Structure 1
């Protein structure tokens, strides 16, 4: 796993390689267009196809050339936008005054507690920590990964690889800038642990999606809610219902529209599913009210 410095160098080399490829492709396109455009006098030539010289569809050739060049950049840009949407769902900050004074509040496990005002912090009562942020980000990434499996194998791997890279580079940056972990060796050790968690999250959620809501709820409880015994079961049910809904909405997006419609799926908040979770209780309460006879007043 490359560090942030190596990533910057890699991105620079990628841009340079892309520029060279564009120049080469442009030169190739020019050689293809030249016979059709005509001579220097500006006269347009017309060629008839012969058995030895089949007609060349110039437009299709040029489109393929530029599509092959632009596709990697389109994937990088699309996955970066999608990742930013996933990463800000449980975003948090560590106040500078607490960091400088060394007065950052800690959890029982020793994690730094910051300040967070997202739905996951306020409505689902999750602490604004790195662990919460990483688990919620991985939860959103998993939903995207599940949809990407419907793509062609090579395309799916490219999208998934870029999303994974965005996550781990951002996680390392957050360790350094937000939590002050300046040791690269220590960061890489934490990143290895995080990678193991990420693989476990994929396996656990896959099992839950296949085997049913009870298994999926158990996976969410272990990962997102850290197997707390004081968890509100309504919140757990709402998250499971929200995951099912997101998977359904992502499945309805055409492949060619994934790069700009995926972000819209996560605008539907998980807390909205609490209304669905509470619906049977409301109906039961209404039924009990209708069946309960009114209290008769006895005259004295």
Structure 2
């Protein structure tokens, strides 16, 4: 769809209430595998993914190990007393459980998402015209968390991986408020966390709808959630193109490459942070 068409229609879509209907465009238009379950899952998202603050880890009883678990286990020594000891110790401590595997994989995922605002500062601030504040960091990080959630849905035990990614996000939000912005009041933090959670769920549903439908719907979702009802049509069109391209890149990745990746969106996962929020 030409940018002029996006610009012409996005203004109308942004002020209309969107009626949720089944996908009207072939999912293969943008991806072939990762989006197959997105629409049905997005309609049940609020109930299927519990609040990040409700639990630090979600237990599960998988019927089969994930691809990532198999890959990690294969990296340990396969012969000798030492190799056997490491395997036994890892299994006893739950190193290969779905939840533990999800926590390790999604840690790198989240660190990449959280660094997008800083690593591409010129793009987000200068090109897109977004203000340099905490809300913008949240919105940019939220967008990239959603992009990875779309791809995660194609994996075994995708809901567990999604939950861990969301947990990382909201734990970091709280840490940044406490350590970076020096907010010590638990009541104020709780109020902000509820607001961010509402924004998160609303944004996921809006982006899912834009992904499954067409560019004007995606433009409206970005206009409301990222630009907070500001921004020029040209800037919104740039972001629509950015989202579509990143979805295509993620969809071309194999499961092993995706789950073990330390480089996504052109950014490499940073080292472990020693101080929360830094």
TM-score normalised per structure 1: 0.56
Shift of 1:242: 1.2
Give the unaligned 5+ runs of structure 2. 1-50, 58-78, 269-278
Match of 1:244 in 2: 244
Aligned counterpart in structure 2 of residue 206 of structure 1, from 190, 205, 208: 208
Shift of 1:70: 2.4
Contact map agreement 1:246 1:266 (CA 8 A) in 2: no
Shift of 1:144: 0.5
Say yes or no: does 1:158 pair with 2:151: no
Root-mean-square deviation (CA, aligned residues, Å) is 3.3
Contact map agreement 2:125 2:131 (CA 8 A) in 1: yes
CA distance in 1, matches of 2:252, 2:92: 28
Q: How do 1:128-167 and structure 2 match up within 5 A?
A: 128-152=132-156, 155-167=157-169
Q: Deviation string for 1:254-292 (max 9, x for gaps)?
A: 112222337333449xxxxxxxxxxxxxxxxxxxxxxxx
2:194 alignment partner, SS class: helix
Shift of 1:118: 4.4
Between Structure 1 and Structure 2, whose CA radius of gyration is higher?
1
Match of 2:123 in 1: 119
Contact map agreement 1:86 1:141 (CA 8 A) in 2: yes
Contact map agreement 1:86 1:137 (CA 8 A) in 2: yes
Match of 2:100 in 1: 73
Contact map agreement 2:95 2:101 (CA 8 A) in 1: no
Contact map agreement 1:250 1:262 (CA 8 A) in 2: no
Contact map agreement 1:79 1:163 (CA 8 A) in 2: yes
Contact map agreement 2:108 2:262 (CA 8 A) in 1: no
TM-score normalised per structure 2: 0.60
CA distance in 2, matches of 1:75, 1:163: 8
Q: How do 1:26-41 and structure 2 match up within 5 A?
A: none
